[in-house]
Amino acid sequence: MKTYLKLFCWIILFSSYTAYGQDVSGTLLPTIAVDSLLNHIKILSSDEFEGRGTGQQGEKLTTDYLVNKYKELGLKPTLENGFLQEFIIRSSYLDEGEEKLTFGNFSFHSPTSFARSSFNYRFQSKLDLIYSSNQEDYQNKSLIRNNLIVIYVNDSLSNLPTILQEFADNGAQGVLFVYEKRKDYQKRKNDTYKILKKDGTSNLRFLVLHTFASAGIISNRLMQKDKFTLPIKLKLLKTNLIISNNVIGILEGKGADKEYLIVCGHYDHLGKIGRRIYNGADDNASGISVLLEVARAIQKLKESGFQLDRSIVFIGFGAEEIGLLGSKHYVDHPIFPLAKTKAVFNMDMVGRAKKDKHGAELYLIGSPKVVEVTTAIAQTHHKNLRINLAYNNPETDIHQFKSRSDQHYFLEKKVPAIFLFTGTHSDYHKTDDDWEKINLESLQEISQLLLKSVVYFSKAANN
């Protein structure tokens, strides 16, 4: 009797989902428990997990946690290493007390010609030096990400902290100021050093280098060209290899087409730096908690007789914070064909929805169809959520959020993707991003919305 009733409900559910909306009752889908969401966040953002820093002990605890949860939830492993997709990061490490770095013919000494944030950080040792006389080129996130940006200073430069912050937020590894005048050079390098050195006020993980315009190769290039890209290799005192992992599990679909959906989020955060622990409750324990609970809900659906056409792949990505490295690795070495991957649902910072009388704000960013469907479902069934598409257009989004989380490389490969995001806040990349500040009610609502959208796209007919 129960089974028949359920089957009947499914038919209603999917006939109305076909028009994504009207009178789909959310009650037909499993309810995601607030307590379970909170529990994951509390554990992942506890001091014991030390901010889940790539290459640190907290990362190991986190991947163990995910593996155990995947097993408990009945996800299937698909790799030789079970749930773990290993990748290697060649990382350079500039430690306190390391005061010289070189590239090409250049040598920089701290603090006279380079500055850095007060804590240890990692960056790529191979990068491109990017210069353009057209400032708008520097808005191009994929151009500057993971590279060193040349800023030619021929007049006094105001707003230094803002400039540095913007480049850091957009994924640059650092900037190289090239000064026309010696007096600017003297003044600026000290200013910069102070900005970065002040413990606790800077969250820049960033190199700032200074040189004169008269210094050889760079000035020659600056004189000759409006733009240039120069591959360089930084030589540092320490370079090491870090092994990181994406955590991948699957709920298999039965469809003849062997198609896939990916539900993902990054599990890493900034880690422990000195004595400070960056707990990262919103960024991104929130996204991982939603991933796990949506997996639980879909598993329940399967058990109750619901047929998944498409397989659903759950991925906790590693090393996002140091350059989207886990998702880049996956896209370069996909376990399931990208051409058969019909939609990617990425969550990064979904726990701090801001509320006003029109509801709690959720940004949706991504490919047209999946954004359209998810928006329609929200507007019909989650009226407490206020969908904001302001960041969906990279032409107008000065923050370039579309390319700043793990959906980026999928979108580059034309894999449809959506990024769910509740916006930045004053605790972003600070030690105060703690679980007490999570907006649980909205997190639960977002989970239910995601569940509906994933279930909609799990049907072979829905593209």
Q: Any contact of residue 293 with Zn ion (CB under 5 A)?
A: no
- Given the complex with Zn ion, which of 283 and 309 has the nearer CB atom? 283
- Given the complex with Zn ion, which of 128 and 406 has the nearer CB atom? 406
- Smallest distance from the beta carbon of 112 to Zn ion, in angstroms? 35
- Smallest distance from the beta carbon of 429 to Zn ion, in angstroms? 9
Q: Contact letters (x/-) for Zn ion, 39-78, by CB under 5 A?
A: ----------------------------------------
d(CA 64, CA 7): 37
- Options 143-151, 257-265, 346-354, 433-441: segment touching Zn ion (CB under 5 A): 346-354
What are the phi and psi torsion angles at 218 (to 5°)? -65, -45
What are the phi and psi torsion angles at 426 (to 5°)? -70, -15
- Given the complex with Zn ion, which of 50 and 348 has the nearer CB atom? 348
Q: For residue 416, count CB atoms less than 10 angstroms from its CB and return exposed for 0-12, middle for 13-18, buried for 19 or more.
A: buried
- Options 38-46, 68-76, 117-125, 284-292: segment touching Zn ion (CB under 5 A): 284-292
Provide Rg for the chain, Cα atoms.
Answer: 23
d(CA 112, CA 193): 9
- Given the complex with Zn ion, which of 283 and 397 has the nearer CB atom? 283
What are the phi and psi torsion angles at 451 (to 5°)? -55, -45
Q: Contact letters (x/-) for Zn ion, 81-120, by CB under 5 A?
A: ----------------------------------------
- Given the complex with Zn ion, which of 284 and 392 has the nearer CB atom? 284
Interface residue with Zn ion among 348, 397, 434, 445 (CB under 5 A) is: 348
- Given the complex with Zn ion, which of 116 and 269 has the nearer CB atom? 269
- Smallest distance from the beta carbon of 268 to Zn ion, in angstroms? 8
d(CA 46, CA 430): 15
What are the phi and psi torsion angles at 117 (to 5°)? -65, 165
Identify the CA nearest to 292 among candidates 260, 263, 319.
263
- Smallest distance from the beta carbon of 349 to Zn ion, in angstroms? 6
3-state SS assignment for residue 243: strand
- Smallest distance from the beta carbon of 405 to Zn ion, in angstroms? 6
Q: Any contact of residue 284 with Zn ion (CB under 5 A)?
A: yes
Site for Zn ion in 413-432 (CB under 5 A): none
Q: Any contact of residue 259 with Zn ion (CB under 5 A)?
A: no
Which CB contacts under 8 angstroms, 24+ apart, belong to 327-331?
A: 327/246, 327/264, 327/266, 327/406, 327/407, 327/408, 327/409, 327/410, 328/409, 329/85, 329/87, 329/246, 330/85, 330/246, 330/248, 330/409, 331/409, 331/410, 331/412, 331/413, 331/415
CB atoms within 10 A of CB 151: 17
- Options 198-206, 245-253, 282-290, 368-376: segment touching Zn ion (CB under 5 A): 282-290
- Given the complex with Zn ion, which of 83 and 278 has the nearer CB atom? 278
- Given the complex with Zn ion, which of 409 and 457 has the nearer CB atom? 409
- Options 95-103, 146-154, 345-353, 364-372: segment touching Zn ion (CB under 5 A): 345-353
- Options 152-160, 253-261, 341-349, 427-435: segment touching Zn ion (CB under 5 A): 341-349
- Smallest distance from the beta carbon of 414 to Zn ion, in angstroms? 23
Size of the residue set binding Zn ion (CB under 5 A):
3
User: What amino acid is encoded at 418 in this protein?
Assistant: I
Interface residue with Zn ion among 259, 282, 283, 397 (CB under 5 A) is: 283
- Given the complex with Zn ion, which of 171 and 249 has the nearer CB atom? 171
Residues in Cβ contact with 62 at an 8 Å cutoff, skipping those fewer than 6 apart: 44, 49, 52, 267, 268, 316
Identify the CA nearest to 373 among candidates 309, 416, 421, 315.
416
| Region label for 132, one of left (φ > 0), alpha (ψ between -120 and 50) or beta (otherwise) | beta
CA atoms within 13 A on the CB side of 216: 6
- Given the complex with Zn ion, which of 14 and 428 has the nearer CB atom? 428
Sign of torsion over alpha carbons 390, 392, 396, 399: positive
Interacting residue ranges for Zn ion, rule: CB under 5 A: 283-284, 348
